[in-house]
């Protein structure tokens, strides 16, 4: 296994870290990796907002639901769907942008944001840093938009905290790879047994970490997926001009 594969297959989220700042050279290299990541049709409809200011990070921690550890991370990068940028290009071409009003548009922006996120994770971990991806920035999207000064036709999709590792953690186990990889045709016949086994495995993992509050995979999903857990995403996206009605 080469070093890149080892880094990718050793990923874990780090929430115990040093207060040491992330240097400019490291940060620039990580951002350059995302900048070179592919986007659909080379639209480059992704922008990054780098947050290092302590007060702004503290506010983001509040908007994310009181996750104080976010405020302690020296760098937070917010990945933004940016159809404001593409709209300028479309207007220059003498056309009217419509794609931002479609499910396709929002979906492709989320996909490209994920590609950028993955590139930054690999880059950061290759430099010995720890990372935490943050979907919680969508908990209060209007607050994030106001805080970051985002214009219409943009939306904050996900964040990434960059840190120097203090206390490492063991890899979180995953469900059997046969529930992930399907050859030729989708096959869910083994899902029930795999979920039962994984619920036991993940509880053993929580025990290993001394976490008495850990839940089974199915129990955690039951708590989260029984409702739309970030209900402000759709109305705020609509107010930003991302209507998803086409």
The pTM score is 0.95
Q: What is the pLDDT of residues 60-118, one digit of tens each?
A: 999 999 988 889 899 999 999 999 999 999 999 999 999 999 999 999 999 999 999 99
Share of the chain above pLDDT 90, in %: 83
Point out the least confidently predicted range of 4-13, 126-135, 142-151.
4-13
Residues forming a β-bridge with 75: 162
pLDDT at residue 246, as a whole number:
83
Distance CA 123, CA 48 (A): 15
- Give yes or no for a contact between 101 and 81, defined as CB atoms under 8 angstroms apart: no
Q: In this structure, what DSSP letter does residue 9 have?
A: T
pLDDT at residue 126, as a whole number:
95
Q: What is the mean pLDDT of residues 24-34?
A: 98
Residue ranges of domains in the chain, CATH in brackets: 3-169+227-239 (3.40.109.10), 170-214 (no CATH)
Q: What is the pLDDT of residues 144-172, one digit of tens each?
A: 999 999 999 999 999 999 988 887 778 89
Helix (H) or strand (E) holding 112: helix 103-126
Confidence of residue 1 (pLDDT cuts 50, 70, 90): confident
Confidence of residue 18 (pLDDT cuts 50, 70, 90): confident
DSSP string, 184-233: SS---TTHHHHHHHHHHHHHHHHHHHT-TT---HHHHHHHHHTS-SSTTH
pLDDT at residue 66, as a whole number:
92
Using the structure block, give the residue that is written with the tokens 């907002």: 49
Q: What is the mean pLDDT of residues 5-24?
A: 83
**Mean per-residue pLDDT over the chain, rounded:** 94
The residues, any chain, with a CB within 8 Å of residue 47's CB and separated by 6 or more, are 79, 80, 82, 85, 154
Q: Which of 36, 212, 20 is nearest to 130 (CA)?
A: 20
């Amino acid at each position: 296994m080469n070093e890149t594969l080892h880094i990718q297959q050793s990923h874990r989220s780090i929430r115990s870290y040093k207060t040491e700042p992330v240097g400019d050279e490291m940060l620039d290299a990580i951002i350059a990796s995302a900048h070179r990541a592919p986007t659909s049709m080379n639209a480059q409809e992704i922008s990054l907002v780098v947050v290092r200011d302590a007060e702004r990070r503290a506010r983001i921690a509040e908007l994310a639901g009181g996750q104080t550890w976010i405020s302690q991370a020296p760098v937070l990068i917010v990945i933004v769907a940016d159809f404001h940028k593409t709209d300028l290009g479309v207007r220059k071409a003498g056309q009217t942008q419509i794609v931002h009003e479609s499910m396709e548009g929002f979906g492709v922006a989320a996909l490209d944001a994920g590609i950028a996120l993955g590139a930054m994770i690999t880059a950061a971990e290759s430099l010995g840093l720890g990372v935490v991806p943050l979907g919680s920035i969508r908990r209060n999207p209007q607050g994030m938009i106001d805080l970051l000064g985002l214009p219409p036709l943009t939306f904050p999709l996900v964040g990434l905290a960059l840190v120097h590792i203090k206390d490492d953690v063991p890899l979180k186990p995953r469900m059997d790879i046969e529930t992930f990889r399907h050859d030729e045709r989708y096959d869910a016949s083994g899902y029930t047994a795999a979920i039962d086994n994984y619920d036991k495995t993940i509880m053993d993992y929580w025990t290993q970490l001394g976490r008495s509050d850990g839940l089974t995979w199915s129990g955690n999903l039951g708590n989260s997926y029984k409702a739309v857990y970030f209900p402000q995403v759709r109305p705020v996206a609509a107010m930003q001009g991302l209507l998803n009605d086409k």
